Chains A and B, each alone.
Chain A
């Protein structure tokens, strides 16, 4: 937990960021030995250096790992989500053998049994709708209907509790019968306000909710130490301690759905904009809170529906960017570092995202299919960037292909620092020799003199 210093509100964003990095660099843990502690602090320093657009000791290598550590460790993705002992062994083997500069976190797999208990309807996951070896997958749908914008806008929390979550989780369906908590304003209203809680289906829903909470405690009690042990013995920091999204993606990914939100841009643009403005402060608060709780500065933000081809630049500027920008500024203001994963291509968006209102040296942008020379040119001196090494090459190429690609990339864009070496899309399936080649090449050629 990051201990918020005195005079927090009087500090500048940069001072706040420095404070978060300082705390992250000196966690309250028992390192396995002086080497592990030194390696950890070295890695944190590298990440701080590149955030500040400096040249670190060497290029930090922070690939994106999906379920690949499961395959590498000889287990299925399903086992990784249900058997925490197997999860621990596989992830320990992976982190030990590859030694990336950012931890492959076991917490990201999630507790499969909790999803089952709650009857999670929005996703399939291994053993529950997708094969045992695949990652979880979102089931496209309109989980928020077009006529519910006003409900969401009026009371997001109430909407989630009484409309959205009951739809997302079958076991919580009866929560639709709850009244607003804001009914409970005087003694005579307490009894009335709690009537829905007393009816059998609602009681049953809360019972499952409690059991899910217990199952979550079992999960976090297992995965916390898995990650903790890796950090302490290998000296690899956990980069992804917090998480938020662009308001457009919050609405579009798991609420209105892709078709829904695209049609909303045409059929009800005013409501869409209003809803996103309502969501922006909520997204900021979540990102800041998890960063504080996990005592890590970075807030991971995957960007989904604003990619090239998914909308025109005009629509990007009207619908996608303004509230994303507001979220970035809000996160920066509290000293956290937006760590954006720019999925797909952003070749058409680079001039828009490089917004001068966003202070230099406060954001990290990891790209996938965007032209990295263009990225270098446009983000140079403004933000840390990286990514792009193709998943297709990591799976089907040779180690020599990877070495050539990485060398050329480093030569082309890494010369001034402010750069992180990583793959483009998340690796669920790859070739271990190639992953080694990525990391080894990065260590060999990534040293700054």
Chain B
């Protein structure tokens, strides 16, 4: 794995990271190795985020860099498609009536990078859709995002709908601007997360890989 590439990504040097990727590819580096370096860099960034050393802009920039590197690398992966081992499926979305998506996107991104298959239903998602997708895909984890105080009741309704559909072993995590333990209790969710890294550790815990 290329340490210069990892460093360029973790140092937020976008142009360097892309240049090094081009150089590596020209020199015949293996595409899976490049993606592995990206994942390694994201792990470092994730730890820094948890430690309060980097913040949302860094996550977004890293996401942009990874997107561009993936675009260069993925076409070359066709012949050597290796099914990535996913830790599990997570049904994710912003609840009904709420259209905030930035935080949801960051959390979904971090979950994906950390090995989960994220089924992102988008925003303003009615409880029935969460239930349907969870049932169809057999996902064992559902994540509900909501930014407004008006998200509390849709979150509660979604949790109830999952139980009513008999999906009792499914674990639900909630997160958003005005979420706390009191709201977790109110909604009946299994846990709440203050940020993306908490979501990741919750998911890993529930998937039995923490």
Contact = CB atoms under 8 A, between A and B. Distances in A.
A428 interface: yes
Given A130-B97, A266-B12, A428 B60 contact: no
A396 interface: yes
Contacts of B27: none
B178 interface: yes
B23 interface: no
B178 to A, nearest CB: 5
B179 interface: yes
Contact of A135 (B148, B186, B195): B148
B192 to A, nearest CB: 11
B22 interface: no
A427 B61 contact: no
A311 interface: yes
Given A131-B96, A266-B57, A309-B195, A425 B101 contact: no
Interface centre among A124, A266, A344, A425 (most CB of B within 10 A): A266
Contacts of A309: 55-56, 195
Interface in B90-104: 96-102
B4 interface: no
B18 to A, nearest CB: 12
Interface centre among B102, B148, B149, B185 (most CB of A within 10 A): B149
A286 to B, nearest CB: 26
B1 interface: no
Interface string A415-449: 00000000001111110000000000000000000
B64 A430 contact: no
Interface residues of A, number: 36
A396 B99 contact: no
A309 B186 CA distance: 26
A109 to B, nearest CB: 15
B117 to A, nearest CB: 24
Contacts of A139: 99
A430 B61 contact: no
Given A311-B56, A393-B182, A137 B99 contact: yes
A425 B149 contact: yes
A397 B177 contact: no
For chain B, give the interface size range.
Answer: 20 to 34
Contacts of B60: 259, 262-263
Interface in A371-405: 390-393, 395-397
B103 to A, nearest CB: 10
Contacts, number: 91
A12 interface: no
B97 A428 contact: no
Contact of B57 (A124, A310, A344): A310
B19 to A, nearest CB: 15
Contacts of B152: 392, 395-396, 429
A392 B56 contact: no
B120 interface: no
Contacts of A45: none
B148 A134 contact: yes
A310 B182 contact: no
A151 B205 CA distance: 50
Given A134-B148, A258-B102, A259-B60, A390 B55 contact: no
Contacts of A344: 177
Nearest to B63: A259
B149 A430 contact: yes
A392 B180 contact: yes
Given A131-B97, A309-B56, A311-B55, A266 B14 contact: yes
Lowest 6 A-B CB distances belong to which pairs? A262-B57, A396-B186, A391-B149, A392-B183, A429-B149, A134-B97
Interface of B: 12, 14, 54-57, 60-61, 64, 96-102, 124, 148-150, 152-153, 177-180, 182-183, 185-186, 195
Interface of A: 124, 129-131, 133-135, 137, 139-140, 258-259, 262-263, 265-267, 309-312, 315, 344, 390-393, 395-397, 425-430
